[in-house]
């Protein structure tokens, strides 16, 4: 009985090790595979469409990096050291990703002009991954102090009133109430006749 | 329904002024404010005007009315009442920048940078059976509003009112004029949020009240007032409000007057908070609570302070039927005793049938208690008790039939009573004079019938 248990645990450990090894091995090629996968998914796009999409990704990256930078500057002006510590590495990563995205857009343009479809697909795939990175950095930046301070959301609340409400302006508060409009004034006296 | 009359009905429905507020305007609550009743249609500005005449960016509303009536107690006497047939002629003209209806049709009501409204009414009273004969009353008002929809705005207004109907028995002094003239000048600065939901107003008010006859000129007074309001509107159509009013009142001519009541200037402050607005498609309400304090010059008149409150429920069972019920408790300035504490209950109804027939009903009942009322020596009671206490009531029914878009037939019936056992004492300063009718109570019934031409 005890041997069976040992065999079961050994088998379980073996399966676990194998799974870990497979996972470790697969992690080595994640980026490349993801890029290939993204490229495969987007391979249906034409060259011009890829360039348009790449420029959109670059623009979005610039927006996010500017926003993170503004948040960091605001925190520095406010003397919030903890927030500055949280945002500084994110801002640096965002800048690095933006530089990379800028370069890859250039490579993509070059590959398209050379009709090098394989290289164009690869560069485009890498840009899709960078877009994901921008989104992750954006979310982490919001998490640094809570989204509410910077995510104001929709700043206009629209309500629809029922059409048949009484036609009153609540801002015009009536200042008086009805009374009998005769003042208390004594009658004048007359000389005794 | 004719198109013009239809427009009038639509205008009425669109107006920002609720119908019940019109009836409130009919009867001024502050004791020194209004003497005598206005014709029913004058109180209701919204229903008075027709579509008007457009002249560029201005519109004109001319009107004329003639009424004949009977007043069963012209001088509000307790005993030995005098009744009289009364003729009243009223000519009116209002001039204003384009109203909301025309602006909505043209370019939108929110585009006006400046609005101006003015009105003039002259009414001639002729008593046919009493010695006081005829007199001319009326009102003149003008208001200029700069940037009415802007975040910052400014307004200045002037309102002059002259009433001429008798308010006390002075028949023993010949035929004096009962003219009372009141001028109110107001300047306001307004601030509001971009959406207009939060609004703050600070202002200055100068109010002057003066009488024609030397018999009453001791009551001439001048009041400087500082006002402040804050309102916050929210869904669906409701607002929280806060207001404050500080008043500085002085009697101008009491030193040289033969009048024997004691008059003292006052410094008053009142503030209130509350909520005003719509509860449902058929029900709206105003609730408020506040505090008022008045301090009087010298040590003769008692200072007063206390809680004030008001509650009003408004119902609209149908589109053209408005009902309101309310209660108010307040403290107002008084010519007798310095102040008067007022508790009022009221009910009002206003109905429009078929766009042609307007019917209004008002019932008001109140209990008033004045401060200690003394003669000018500061010691002798003015009457048979230290404080004057009155149950006062007003029942009013008015109706108007609009035969065409410019002609209306109207009638107005009113019962007014002051039920009190208060009797004025003869002046101690001069033993050779007496009060001809010392009883302060009275009852009055009046009925009117007339025609009105308006545009």
Confirm if A68 and A90 have CB atoms less than 8 A apart. yes
Does the pLDDT at position A28 exceed 70? Answer: no
The more confident residue out of B401 and B103 is B401
Average confidence (pLDDT) over B313-323: 89
Average confidence (pLDDT) over B216-232: 95
Question: Cis bond leading into B236, ω under 30°?
Answer: yes
Query: What 3 state SS string does chain B have?
Result: CCHHHHHHHHHHHHCCCCHHHHHHHHCCCCCCCCCCCCCHHHHCHHHHCCCCEEECCEEEEEEEEEEEEEECCCCCCCCCCCCEEEEEEEEEEEEEECCHHHHHHHCCHHHCCEEEEEEEEEEEEEECCCCCCEEEEEEEEEEEEECCCCCEEEEEEEEEEEECCCCCCCHHHCCCCCCEEEEEEEEEEEEECCCCCEEEEEEEEEEEEEECCCCCHHHCEEEEEEEEEEEEEECCCEEEEEEEEEEEEEECCHHHCCCCECCCCEEEEEEEEEEEEECCCCEEEEEEEEEEEEEECCCCCCCEEEEEEEEEEEEEEECCEEEEEEEEEEEEECCCCCEEEEEEEEEEEEEEECCCEEEEEEEEEEEEEEEECEECCCCCECECCCEEEEEEEEEEEEEEEECCCCEEEEEEEEEEEEECCCEECCCCCCCCEECCCCECCEEEEEEEEEEEEEC
Question: Which residue is associated with the tokens 């409400």?
Answer: A165
Most confident of A43-47, A93-97, A112-116, B169-173: A93-97
| pLDDT in the model for residue A188 | 85
Test B15 with A167 for CB contact under 8 angstroms: yes
Spell out which residues of chain A touch residue B239, defining contact as CB-CB under 8 Å.
170-171, 173
The more confident residue out of B32 and B200 is B200
Test A189 with B276 for CB contact under 8 angstroms: no
Average confidence (pLDDT) over B418-445: 88
| pLDDT in the model for residue B106 | 57
Q: Which of A27-36, A157-166, B103-112, B135-144 has the lowest mean pLDDT?
A: A27-36
Using alpha carbons only, give the angle B54, B59, B62 rounded to the nearest 5 degrees. Answer: 100
| pLDDT in the model for residue B23 | 34
| pLDDT in the model for residue B173 | 76
- Element (H or E) spanning A191, and its range? strand A190-191
Does the pLDDT at position B198 exceed 90? Answer: yes
Nearest CA to CA, how far is A75 from chain B (Å)?
Answer: 29
Closest by Cβ to B278, choosing from A165, A184, A185: A165
Nearest CA among B275, B283, B278 for reference residue B236: B278
Substitution target from A171, A172, A191, A193 for chain B, most B beta carbons within 10 A = A171
Nearest CA among B413, B450, B402 for reference residue B47: B402
Nearest CA among B398, B440, B444, B450 for reference residue B419: B440
User: B20 falls in which pLDDT band (50, 70, 90)?
Assistant: very low
Closest by Cβ to B382, choosing from A175, A180, A186: A186
The more confident residue out of B215 and B205 is B205
| pLDDT in the model for residue A35 | 52
Average confidence (pLDDT) over B233-245: 91
Q: Which of A89-98, B43-52, B68-77 has the lowest mean pLDDT?
A: B43-52
Rounded CA gap, A94 and A69, in Å? 9
Tokens representing residue A20 in the block: 């870990």
Average confidence (pLDDT) over B346-374: 93
Nearest CA to CA, how far is B17 from chain A (Å)?
Answer: 6
User: B15 falls in which pLDDT band (50, 70, 90)?
Assistant: very low
Main-chain phi, psi angles of A45, to 5 degrees: -70, 145
Residue in chain A lying closest to B199 (CA): A171
Does the pLDDT at position B226 exceed 70? Answer: yes
Does the pLDDT at position A10 exceed 70? Answer: no
| pLDDT in the model for residue B261 | 87
Most confident of A138-152, B149-163, B422-436: B149-163
Substitution target from B200, B214, B236, B381 for chain A, most A beta carbons within 10 A = B236
Rounded CA gap, B54 and B97, in Å? 9
The more confident residue out of A33 and B416 is B416
User: A162 falls in which pLDDT band (50, 70, 90)?
Assistant: confident
Nearest CA to CA, how far is B104 from chain A (Å)?
Answer: 16
For the segment B67-102, what is each residue's pLDDT rounded down to a tens digit?
999 999 999 999 989 999 999 999 999 999 876 666
Q: Which residues contact B235 (CB under 8 A, 6 or more apart)?
A: A159, A161
For the segment B363-385, what is each residue's pLDDT rounded down to a tens digit?
999 999 999 999 988 899 999 99
Closest by Cβ to A174, choosing from B34, B286, B388: B286
User: A154 falls in which pLDDT band (50, 70, 90)?
Assistant: low
Test B239 with A191 for CB contact under 8 angstroms: no
Residues of A with CB under 8 A from a CB of B: 159, 161-162, 164-192
């Amino acid at each position: 009985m005890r041997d069976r248990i040992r065999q079961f645990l050994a088998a379980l450990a073996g399966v676990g090790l194998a799974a870990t090894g497979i996972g470790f091995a697969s992690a080595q090629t994640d980026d490349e595979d993801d890029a290939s996968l993204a490229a495969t998914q987007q391979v249906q796009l034409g060259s011009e469409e890829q360039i348009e999409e790449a420029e959109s990704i670059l623009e979005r990256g610039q927006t996010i990096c500017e926003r993170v930078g503004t948040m960091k500057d605001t925190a520095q002006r406010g003397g919030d050291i903890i927030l500055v510590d949280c945002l500084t590495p994110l801002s640096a990563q965002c800048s690095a990703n933006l530089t990379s995205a800028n370069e890859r857009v250039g490579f993509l343009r070059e590959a398209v002009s050379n009709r090098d479809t394989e290289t164009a697909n690869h560069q485009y795939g890498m840009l899709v991954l960078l877009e994901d990175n921008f989104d992750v950095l954006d979310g982490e930046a919001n998490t640094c102090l809570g989204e509410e301070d910077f995510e104001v959301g929709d700043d206009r609340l629209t309500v629809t009133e029922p059409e048949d409400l009484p036609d009153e302006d609540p801002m015009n508060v009536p200042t008086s109430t009805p009374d009998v409009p005769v003042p208390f004034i004594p009658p004048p006296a007359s000389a005794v006749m | 329904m004719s198109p013009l009359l239809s427009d009038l009905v639509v205008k009425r429905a669109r107006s920002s002024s609720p119908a019940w507020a019109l009836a409130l305007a009919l009867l001024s609550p502050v004791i020194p404010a209004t003497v005598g009743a206005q014709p029913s249609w004058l109180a209701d500005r919204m229903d008075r005007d027709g579509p008007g005449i457009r002249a560029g960016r201005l519109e004109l509303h001319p009107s004329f009315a003639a009424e004949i009536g009977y007043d069963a107690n012209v001088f509000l006497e307790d005993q030995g009442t005098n009744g009289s047939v009364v003729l009243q002629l009223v000519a009116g003209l209002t001039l204003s920048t384009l109203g909301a209806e025309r602006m909505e049709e043209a370019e939108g009501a929110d585009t006006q940078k400046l609005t101006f409204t003015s009105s003039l009414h002259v009414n001639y009273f002729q008593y046919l059976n009493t010695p006081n004969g005829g007199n001319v009353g009326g009102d003149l008002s003008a208001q200029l509003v700069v940037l009415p929809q802007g975040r910052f705005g400014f307004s200045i207004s002037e309102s002059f009112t002259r009433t001429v109907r008798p308010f006390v028995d002075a028949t023993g002094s010949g035929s004096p004029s009962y003219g009372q003239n009141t001028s109110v000048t107001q300047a306001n600065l307004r601030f509001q949020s971009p959406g207009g939901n939060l609004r703050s107003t600070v202002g200055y008010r100068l109010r002057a009240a003066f009488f024609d006859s030397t018999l009453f000129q001791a009551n001439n007074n001048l009041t400087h007032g500082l006002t402040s309001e804050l309102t916050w509107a929210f869904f669906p159509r409701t607002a929280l409000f806060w207001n404050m009013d500080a008043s500085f009142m002085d009697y101008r001519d009491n030193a040289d007057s033969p009048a024997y009541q004691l008059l003292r200037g006052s410094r008053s402050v009142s503030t209130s908070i509350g909520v005003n607005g719509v509860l449902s498609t058929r029900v709206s309400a105003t609730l408020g609570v506040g505090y008022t304090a008045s301090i009087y010059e010298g040590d003769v008149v008692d200072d007063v302070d206390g809680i004030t409150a008001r509650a009003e429920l408004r119902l609209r069972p149908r589109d053209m039927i408005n009902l309101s019920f309310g209660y108010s408790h307040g403290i107002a300035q008084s010519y007798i005793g310095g102040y008067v504490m007022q508790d009022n209950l009221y009910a009002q109804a206003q109905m429009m049938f078929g766009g042609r027939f307007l019917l209004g009903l008002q019932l008001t009942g109140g209990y008033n208690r004045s401060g200690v009322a003394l003669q000018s020596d500061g010691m002798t009671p003015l009457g048979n008790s230290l404080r004057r206490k009155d149950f006062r009531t007003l029942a009013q029914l008015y109706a108007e039939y609009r035969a065409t878009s410019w002609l209306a037939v109207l009638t107005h019936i009113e019962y007014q009573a002051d039920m009190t056992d208060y009797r004025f004492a003869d002046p101690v300063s001069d033993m050779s004079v007496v009060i001809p009718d010392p009883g302060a109570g009275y009852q009055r019934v009046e009925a009117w019938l007339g025609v009105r031409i308006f545009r």
